[in-house]
Amino acid sequence: MKTALASSLTLLSLVVSLAPVSASSNRDLEKEVAAGITGQERQIMIDVMKNLPKEERENVIYIDDNGQIHANKTELKDVFGKVTVSEENTIAGSNNETFTLPKSTDSPTLNKSASVTPLAGYACGEAGGPYRRVFSNPGYSWWSGNVYLPSSANNEVYVNNASSNDTPYIYTGGHASSGASEVDAGFQYSKTYNNWAHSIFTGGVYYHNNSFRFKAGQNLTFKFYVPADGQVALYAAGIRYDTNTADNYTVVTNVAGWKKSGAGNELKRITAIASNAPKPYSTGTYLKNVKWSNSMIGTSSTSNHQWLASDTGGYCTYPNSTQVSVNYVNAGEETVSINMN
């Protein structure tokens, strides 16, 4: 993920819809931005939130081109932050925990030396650890579904960091037709806390939830979509680890080339373990029972359908079906397990 992204992705200037907003809608937006958010920041959040469904505007975080964090509530402004990636392709988390990032999404559209045409999809090759990828045909800008977050308490995830900093991931995202705007948006596992953090990697920069994580051992609802040209949003709803209560968040960031119409966009779903260990991967780390279900794909919350074979550009199980096993139901529903033995 990092190799392809860092060399080719750029966060560009804020792009927001300038469509008129009705008086009633504007009043709703004003109510959904806390009184403590004032001045230019308040207007920035209103401009971002007007493109989001009402039910996904409760807790909104927006990352601008400079990496500055804006939010519709003051207490959310410190939740997300930019994380420095080391030369070893790792980041430092809380409690001195180290996470490894996937290295490359292996997209031919991002590989300038590959003799392929744009929108050829994703190659099935090295990405810094074993993974399962399903990607769509071009033409989509909205995905929603459920995914099960494995728990060490259920013997579904184990990270052996004796010789490497293996890190499990469950994420979506994709790329736009320009081939310069790959996005990875989803969840990163913490072996220290047995929970999953909201995260987005785009523009060669990794943004990570600093304080809020989702509880392991639950079915999470999440969505990835284009709220306006040049922006992407990740919405997630589930049980918080710290409070054991239901909550939801929407994180929006600018990404050049993405179209709300879906033109040129390819979406993806990935289950992976990022590792710095050499191949063959044999650290003993595993990730089991990642069930993707209720996958819907389209161009909006009102223009979508079940993700089926006709929507699918391809599949990849890397390095092989022994290390990465898939219980396949259809293109939108499958259960993935990865065993690094």
Maximum Cα–Cα distance for the chain, whole Å? 60
Lowest-pLDDT range, 12-21, 130-139, 142-151, 315-324? 12-21
Phi/psi for 12 (5° steps) reads -100, -175
The arithmetic mean of pLDDT across residues 24-46, rounded, is 91
Give the amino acid at 98: T
Averaged pLDDT, 131-153: 97
At 9, is the pLDDT very low, low, confident or very high (cuts 50, 70, 90)?
very low
Mean pLDDT value across the chain: 86
Confidence of residue 120 (pLDDT cuts 50, 70, 90): low
Does 203 have pLDDT greater than 80?
A: no
The tokens describing 328, both together, are: 């396949």
pLDDT digits (tens, 9 = 90+) for 82-116: 888 888 889 887 677 889 998 754 444 333 333 33
| Portion of the chain with pLDDT greater than 90, in percent | 67
Cα separation, 339 vs 150, whole angstroms: 13
Give pLDDT tens digits for 161-191.
776 789 999 999 999 876 557 899 999 999 9
Among the residue ranges 21-25, 170-174, 202-206, 252-256, the one predicted with the least confidence is 21-25
**Residue 277, Cβ neighbours under 10 Å: how many?**
20
User: What does the block give as tokens for 327?
Assistant: 């219980």
| pTM for the predicted model, two decimal places | 0.88
Which residues are paired to 208 by β-bridges?
81, 199
pLDDT at 28: 84
* Least confident residue range of 6-15, 232-241, 271-280: 6-15
- Tell me the mean pLDDT in the region 114-143: 81
pLDDT confidence of residue 188: 95
Q: What percent of the chain has pLDDT over 70?
A: 86
The better pLDDT of the pair 203, 48 is held by: 48
Over the Cα atoms of the chain, what is R_g?
A: 19
Q: What is the pLDDT of residue 172?
A: 97
**What is the arithmetic mean of pLDDT over 328-332?**
97
pLDDT value of residue 180: 58
Q: What is the pLDDT of residue 114?
A: 32
Backbone angles phi, psi at 32, to 5 degrees: -90, 0
What are 258-290's pLDDT values in tens digits?
999 999 999 999 999 999 988 889 999 999 999
Least confident of 2-16, 119-133, 302-316: 2-16
